Structure 1
Amino acid sequence: MTILPVIIFILVFVPSIVLIVSMPYLTKETISFGVTVSAVQFHSEPLRQMRKSYARISAILHSILFIVGILCLIYSDEHSRQISWIIITYALAMLVISLVINIRYHLKMKSVLPMLPAAPESSVMEPGLRNGNVGLPSHWFLIHAVIIVVSIVTVLRNYDLIPDQLPVHFNGSWTVDRYIDKSYSIVFIPTIMQVLGILLFIYEYWRMRRGKQQVREDLTYRRAWSNFMITASFLFVILLSVMQLNMTSLLNINFVIPVVLSIIAFIILYAYTLTYWAGQRESR
């Protein structure tokens, strides 16, 4: 198999799939599929079933797409352009599927809302809350862009240090038995993944901040998850930059592996901790 693209593919898209599938359970109990509801309505049986249905359908479709993507990478030839197009096509298909499912459930939520139990009190908007301080501002993403640009420049300046033959196939004993000629397309696969991954994080960040806020809403949840989107995406960019710079031999492999594993572990632990601490805060 073409091991490097497969590893990057898994590191990038598995966390994204988990986040997308879990999104209805991570939002506040005053928001359901982009529609403002009361806590009573949020915990009603129709919306419970909608969340389960969304998670089930999303998990099935994204799992099928993910398996297809992995198989395409495994059985693709060693032409780096083909590998790049597989990853790009997968990312676009993933975005389209997520968009279609979200629009479908948003429209369904609007049709179901009149049949739900009446809200105990009206949901009044407080002027200025919607655009208020709910976490780190979006211009922090510029730091991510700077890191990506620095990585690109560093790799270009040290391109000659990259071996002419890069490992792409491993046998059952995890011994390299096939190599591919060095090319810009294969070397910059991590850059492509950085850009696509950041776009996903920005989209979720935008959704988190754009939702309507209510007078009595505790901003802790929205602020915490907005900060998570920026912090996790920053670590994600660092992770792929480290893997990319490892090709140039500028970084020692004994340094790269602990850094990569530590970043992955930290992001996962951060997400689970945040889900427990700032998830459905009003219900605790």
Structure 2
Amino acid sequence: MTTTHAPEPAIRVQGIEKSFKELQVLRGVDFDVARGSIFALLGSNGAGKTTLVRILSTLLKADAGTATVHGFDVAAKAGDVRESISLTGQFAAVDEVLTGRENLVLVAKLRHLKNPGAIADELLARFSLTDAGGRRSATYSGGMRRRLDIAMSLIGNPPVIFLDEPTTGLDPQARIEVWQTVKQLAQGGTTVLLTTQYLDEAEQLADRIAILHKGTIIQNGTLAELKQLLPAATVEYVEKQPTLEEVFLTLVGETGETGETGAAADAQPARKEF
């Protein structure tokens, strides 16, 4: 009789604690992230999300507990962890003096990869930035700059990527662009740990969601599992009103391009539904 073992998680966190002087930020955090999945760490400002990401990416040492990334202990095998990950912070880290292509070529050269130009061209195509590749990144929109930032993070094909609040400060269209990019990463087999304070972002992207509150994980599960924590709502006959985001995207179009008369004529009236 043969026994099958579950594959080792891409990220395993057990009992992680971290304090800054008298301030205890992490109070014993535990969770696993399956390979090739999107795991959302949801929490308000100050919950400890960025601190945890810094520990997992070897930029900060935990006071207690253990963590492994891609099978490597973050404390004992920091070098191996760094070779296995990429970290994208809250603000795009692109050089605005360089063109989009030059940014990508620079990172490929820094990683000592062969054919940096070909790598840059492939990523520009993958992230729909080929036409903008010869322009200085200072001229890019927020969504384009963030997509370029994520593309730079993927040079070298890291199996694990950390996205720390990747849509902070972006407009609705740019957020959708980034969401599509993140989904493509997971479809390609990349493990994504996403930190966010936006509830809809976690709902749109994550295979599993962990809620970090006051330094501990208070719930961890799929979206369906989390929804079961609350009783079913009473069904009433209501007129569904469009959200402000739906109005905005209808008026300007998801790409921000509209005709002279706008897209308001295409807008659908509110529907009545049960």
Q: TM-score range by the shorter chain?
A: under 0.3
Pick the structure with more helix per residue: 1
State the TM-score, normalized to the length of structure 1. 0.23
State the TM-score, normalized to the length of structure 2. 0.24
